[in-house]
Amino acid sequence: MPTQPDDDELLLIRQSGVVLRAGLLSLSAGTGSYRVKETMARIAAALGIDRHHAQVTLTEITSTSHRGRSFRTEVAEVATVGVNASRLAALEALSVEVERRPRPVPVDVVADALDRIEGQPPRLGVLLGGLWAGLACAAFCFLIGGGPYEVAGALLGGWAGQLVRRLLLGRHFNHFGATIVAAAAACFVFLGFVESLRLIDEPVAAHQAGYVAAVLFLIPGFPLVTAGLDLARLDLSAGVARLTYAVLIALSAALAVWAVAIAFDLTPATLPGPVLSLPVLIPLQAAASFAGVAGFALMFNGTWRMALAAGLIGMVANVLRLELVRLEVPPQAAAALAALLVGLLTAAAGPMLRVPRITLSVPAVLVMVPGVLLYRGVYAVSQGDAAAAVGTFAQAALVTMALPIGLALARMLTDRRWAFAR
């Protein structure tokens, strides 16, 4: 016959539920599985749980809490995949705070704190959030060679595309469908702006190639980077799932861009870029790098302090990368070295600002992701140019893989738990 749980078992049930809830909030905010497990383990230890084990994938958590001879296993999943840097910082602060309190920490204290974290509204409204996405696209556009008109079009297109995406996701629209619609909206707004240049007697065709820059806000930076970090820790189930999700999101955006290109007979050609001397170009690249990284940080619901720190780190690292490429260093080697620098700088800045490293490192390296190459590869496939497609995809893959490799090396150099298995 079933028996009634005693008071100690009832307490374990409540504690286990709070630990699982903390993990779900962390997972839904977009962090890697290693960070989810660490947050859960800290809170479990503070509550008085003897041992805790968690298995984390992209959308699911299996959590087991032990105390004495009793244990409880729970399985839960998150409904959506997203990014919320402010929530990650709040959960990090909570896990550090409960570690410092006398143990065991009452369950209600942690539960109330989780209520406050979950109830925090987005820091930016839909319109302002879209503006920062547009700013990031505009900065990206300049860094890949865009001129004033292309930059302005990318700003408007990125703003409109992010606005459409947030509205669709707010209504629980399918992620891949929302990505396709948002990419198409960004392209249409960009092309509408370029078409309006006829009013000032400006040749439209000279600026159409910049349409790709308007959709660069859709690059799945958090999943790509966290997938690489999970794989570096041999967490294959989470890493492979995140990588698959990131690739599918990127392909969804690329297919929308391809469809627009076919419909309007566009070619994602290389932008010529402004003709500037190095003393002028380098400061402009630094400013664009800062603006792009800060824009991504704010788009991810980061704080102004996060955006400022990430922007400064990304500015230094990306200018270094661009200079290395200019000196004919292979692009993937330059990206790995720049990501290594980002990891080392965030290792110092994260604890000082009391924020998770990932909230600084991902926006800082996102400006280095070769999203334009991916879109050009899809276009080459559509044109039947297999040689160009393979070469473009290979180059994009090498640079993209170099970024998490650099960040993982930085973690191994600055965190003993990453350098050694035990």
> 63 — phi, psi (to 5°)?
-120, 130
Q: Tell me what pLDDT residue 63 has.
A: 92
Q: Tell me what pLDDT residue 342 has.
A: 94
Give the length of the chain. 422
Angle at 362 between CA 361 and CA 365, to 5 degrees: 85
* 50: DSSP letter: S
Q: Tell me what pLDDT residue 147 has.
A: 82
Q: Tell me what pLDDT residue 201 has.
A: 67
Q: Tell me what pLDDT residue 53 has.
A: 92
Q: Tell me what pLDDT residue 271 has.
A: 66
Q: Tell me what pLDDT residue 229 has.
A: 85
H-assigned helices in 265-385: 278-299, 304-326, 331-353, 358-366, 371-382
d(CA 177, CA 82): 15
Helix, strand or coil, per DSSP, at residue 282: helix
Q: Tell me what pLDDT residue 307 has.
A: 92
User: Tens of pLDDT along the chain (422 residues)?
Assistant: 555 666 677 888 899 999 999 999 999 888 888 889 989 999 999 998 999 999 998 889 999 999 888 888 999 988 777 888 889 989 988 988 888 888 888 999 999 999 999 988 888 788 888 888 999 999 988 888 888 888 899 999 999 999 999 999 888 888 889 999 999 999 999 988 888 877 776 666 556 667 788 888 888 888 888 888 888 888 888 889 888 998 899 889 888 888 888 888 777 666 666 677 788 889 999 999 999 999 989 988 888 899 999 999 999 999 999 999 999 999 999 999 999 999 999 999 988 888 888 889 889 998 888 877 877 777 777 777 778 888 888 888 888 889 989 998 998 888 887 777 65
pTM of the entire predicted model: 0.88
CA dihedral (261, 265, 269, 274) positive or negative: negative
Closest C-alpha among 192, 168, 169 to residue 28:
169
Closest C-alpha among 100, 119, 123 to residue 301:
123
- Please write the tens of the pLDDT for every residue from 254-287: 888 888 888 887 776 666 666 777 888 899 999 9
Q: Tell me what pLDDT residue 189 has.
A: 92
- Please write the tens of the pLDDT for every residue from 44-85: 999 989 999 999 988 899 999 998 888 889 999 887 778 888
User: Please, how many CA atoms are within 13 Å of residue 384, restricted to the half-sphere of its CB?
Assistant: 0
- Please write the tens of the pLDDT for every residue from 371-411: 778 777 777 777 777 788 888 888 888 888 899 899 989 98
Q: Tell me what pLDDT residue 339 has.
A: 94
